Amino acid sequence: MFDKEKLASIQSAKEGWDNGTVAKALGKYKERREEFTTSSKIPVERLYTPLNTADLDYEQDLGFPGQYPFTRGVQPTMYRGRFWTMRQYAGFATAEESNKRYKYLLEQGQTGLSVAFDLPTQIGYDSDDEIAHGEIGKVGVAIDSLADMETLFSGIPLDKVSTSMTINAPASVLLAMYIAVGEKQGVSADVLRGTIQNDILKEYSARGTYIYPPAPSMRLITNIFEFCSKNVPKWNTISISGYHIREAGSTAVQEVAFTLADGIAYVKAAIDAGLNVDDFAGRLSFFFNSHNNLLEEVAKFRAARKLWAKIMKERFGATKPRSWMLRFHTQTGGSTLTAQQPDNNIVRVAMQTLAAVLGGTQSLHTNSKDEALALPTEDSVRIALRTQQIVAYESGVCDTIDPLAGSYYVEALTKKIEDEAMAYIEKIDALGGADKAIEQGFIQKEIADSSYNYQKEVESGHEVIVGMNKFYIEEKPVEGLLRVDPAVGEAQVKKLKAMKENRDNVAVKNKLDALKEAAKTDANLMPYILDAVRVYGTEGEICNILREVFGEYRPVEIL
C-alpha cells in the first residue's frame, strides 16, 4: 500500500527507532517478557508498521464486503443493514420447560432459537435406555419422539423463527421431526429456516458424540444435503464446527485449519455422491469459537473467510458467489470461563463478543458467567444476551464495516494465520483428507498436544488467568445454581412409555423395517426417516435400526 521509496524510508526510520529510542528504554526497563506470542504461538513484534504489510495487495487480499474473497465480510453492508442474529443456545430438562425458556428469550428480543439436546438424544438413545440413566435432561432437552418435538415448539410458529439445532450423529432424525412439526402447524418444508450442526468429523476429533463409523455417517450427511436442496432449500444443512475443536484445546490456527479441512471433506463427499457443488455449497455454514486474544481472533475470522472462498472457487470450481462465502455462527469460548470469581466471566464474554463482531460473525451465542459451574440461570443468560446488545447498540463498532482492516498488526496476523492454516490443510491433504487424518489420529494428537502445552503454561504461571492462577481470593461457594430435578428423568420415561402404548405400533414396525432395507441399499434415507418419525417411531428406535446395519464407531485414542 506504500511505494518502494516510502517503505525504504520507513525502514530506515524504524531502524533508527529500534537502535535509539527503544534501545535506550530497554537499557532502563526490560520488557515483561523475552518473547511475546499469540495463543497460536505466532510471534508478536514490538511494533507493526507498513513494513509488515508491504506484500498486501488490497484488491486481491482484502477486496470489498460481499465480494470475493470476502476477507472484509460476506454481506455488502454488514451490520449497517442489520445486526447479527443473537442466538442463545438453550434447552434443558423437558420439552415443556425448554419451550417456556424459548418463549421467554423471544420476548427478550432474541431473534433465533438454538436447541441444546441432552446427551442420550445426541447419541441416539431413548430416555428409557439403561445408558440414559442419570443423563436425561441434564445438558439439554430430552427428545424421544415427534410428540416431544411438538411440545418443544408449541405456540412457536415455525415459519416465523429460525432454529438452530445442535445435533450431529442423529441429525437426520431431528430434522425429520422438525419438518413433521411444521407439517402439523401447516408450515411447508420449503419455508423452514434454520441449521442443524450435522458435523460428524469434529465429533470424532473433538466432541465425542458419534454413533456410526465414518463412511455411513458421511452418507447420512450427503443424504441430508441432497434432500434439503430439493425440499428444504432455506435450511443450513451443516454447521462445520471449529468451536469444539478449540474447546478441546486447539490453537486459533488449528481451529481454522481443522475446520476447513473438515469442510473440504464434506464437499468432496457430496461431489462424490453426485451432487453439483453449487447446489449445496451455499447452504454450508460454519461455527467458530471466540477467545480472549482479541486481535488474533479477529484475524482468525478474516483469514478463515478468505481461505474458504479460495478453496471453493479454485479447488472445487464453484461458480456462485454464495458458494464461496464462509458464513458463520460464533460462540464465546466456554473453556475460557473460570469457576473462580465467576463475575469476571462477564468481562471475558464482552471481549469475545467484540472479537466476533469485529470479525464479522453472522450470529452469536454469548456464554453465561456461571457456565463453568452448571447450566446457566435465567438471570445470567439475560446478562449474556445484554452483552451482545450493548456491543450492538452502544459500542459504535457496527457502524462501519470491518473497522480493523488496514491495521498493520491485524493484517499481518490475518496473513500469518492464513499461511499457517494452509500449511496444515496441505499436510491433511497428504494424509488423504480430514477423514483419513482423523482415522490415523493426526488431528486428535495435534489438539491434545496443544491442550497439554497450554495446561503446562497455565500451571507454570506463564499464562495468566485472572482470578484463577493470579489475583486469587478465597470465595464462598456460589449459590442459586440451576439444577435439573432428578424427577425429570422418570417423568420423561413415563411419558415415553405412554406414547408407545398409544401409537400405531404396526405402522411403526413397517416404517422401521422399510428404513432398515433402505439402509442396506444406497437410497437416500431422509424420506424413510421422515416416514418413521411421522408415525411416532422414536429416535432410539431409528438409530438402533441404523446401528444394526452400520455398526458403531470405536474411537482412535491418541494420547
Ligand X SMILES: Nc1nc2c(ncn2[C@@H]2O[C@H](COP(=O)(O)OP(=O)(O)O)[C@@H](O)[C@H]2O)c(=O)[nH]1
Q: Does residue 559 interact with ligand X by CB under 6 A?
A: no
List the single partner that 541 binds among ligand X, another protein, none, CB under 5 to 8 Å by kind.
none
Among positions 394, 554, 558, 559, the unique one binding ligand X when judged by CB under 6 A: 554
Q: How far is the CB of 106 from another protein (least distance, A)?
A: 26
- At 203, list the grid cell: 465429533
- The binder of 131, among ligand X, another protein, none, by C-beta within 5 to 8 A per type, is another protein
Closest approach of Cβ 125 to another protein, in Å? 8
d(Cα 123, Cα 539) in Å, to the nearest integer? Answer: 10
Contact 280, 225 (CB under 8 A): yes
Backbone angles phi, psi at 113, to 5 degrees: -100, 150
Residues in the chain: 559
Query: Shortest distance, CB of residue 549 to another protein, whole angstroms?
Result: 13
The residue ranges that bind another protein (CB under 8 A) are 119-120, 122-123, 131-135, 138-139, 203, 207-210, 213, 247-249, 335, 338-340, 372-375, 440-441, 448, 451-452, 455, 458-459, 465, 468-469, 477-478, 481, 484, 551, 554-557, 559
Q: Which does 36 bind (CB under 5 to 8 A by kind): ligand X, another protein, none?
A: none
Q: Which is nearer to another protein, 66 or 213 (CB)?
A: 213
The option from another protein, ligand X, none interacting with 438 (CB < 5 to 8 A, set by class) reads none
HEC string of 448-497? HHHHHHHHHHHHHCCCCCECCCECCCCCCCCCCCCCCCCHHHHHHHHHHH
Beta carbon nearer to ligand X, 79 or 442: 442
CB of 338 to another protein, least distance (A): 6
Q: Which does 13 bind (CB under 5 to 8 A by kind): another protein, ligand X, none?
A: none
CB-CB neighbours of 373 under 10 Å: 18
Output 5 or 557, the one with its CB closest to another protein.
Answer: 557
Query: Of ligand X, another protein, none, which one does residue 84 interact with (CB within 5 to 8 Å by kind)?
Result: none
Among ligand X, another protein, none, what binds residue 209 when CB lies within 5 to 8 Å by partner kind?
Answer: another protein
Three-state SS at 399:
coil
**Shortest Cβ contact with ligand X: which residue?**
556
Q: Which CB, 438 or 535, lies closer to ligand X?
A: 438
Pairing of strands 238-241, 235-236: unpaired
Least distance from another protein to the Cβ atom of residue 444, Å: 9
Q: Give the Cα separation of 413 and 422 in Å (integer).
A: 14
Residues 433-462 that bind ligand X (CB under 6 A): 439
Contact pattern for ligand X over residues 387 through 426, marking x by CB under 6 A: ----------------------------------------
How far is residue 313's CA from residue 245's CA, in Å, rounded to a whole number?
A: 25
C-alpha distances in angstroms, 498 versus 124, 492, 537, 542, 545? 20, 10, 13, 18, 22
Q: By CB under 6 A, is residue 556 in contact with ligand X?
A: yes
Given a contact cutoff of 8 angstroms between Cβ atoms, the answer to whether 207 and 242 are in contact is: no
Q: Which does 113 bind (CB under 5 to 8 A by kind): another protein, ligand X, none?
A: none
Shortest Cβ 169–another protein spacing (Å):
11
Nearest-approach distance from CB 89 to ligand X, in angstroms: 31
For residues 145-204, which are near ligand X according to CB under 6 A? none
CB of 312 to ligand X, least distance (A): 29
Q: In what order do the strands lie in the sheet with 363-365?
A: 85-86, 363-365, 328-332, 284-290, 238-241
Gap between the Cα atoms of 358 and 363, Å rounded = 12
Binding mask 36-55 for ligand X (x = CB under 6 A): --------------------
Q: Which of the choices ligand X, another protein, none does residue 455 contact, using the CB cut-off of 5 to 8 A by kind? A: another protein
User: Residue 23 binds what, of another protein, ligand X, none (CB under 5 to 8 Å, by partner type)?
Assistant: none
Output Rg (C-alpha) for the chain, integer angstroms. 24
Instruction: Return the C-alpha cell found at 142.
Output: 430430552
What cell was used for 270?
Answer: 457430496
Q: How far is residue 300's CA from residue 305's CA, in Å, rounded to a whole number?
A: 9
Q: Given CA atoms 492, 493, 499, 505 in this order, what sign does their dihedral have?
A: positive
Cα–Cα distances (Å) from 410 to 91, 161, 301, 354, 537, in that order, read: 37, 36, 11, 15, 52
Helices then strands, counting H and E runs in the chain, come out as 22, 10
CB of 543 to ligand X, least distance (A): 21
Q: Which residues bind ligand X (CB under 6 A)?
A: 439, 554, 556
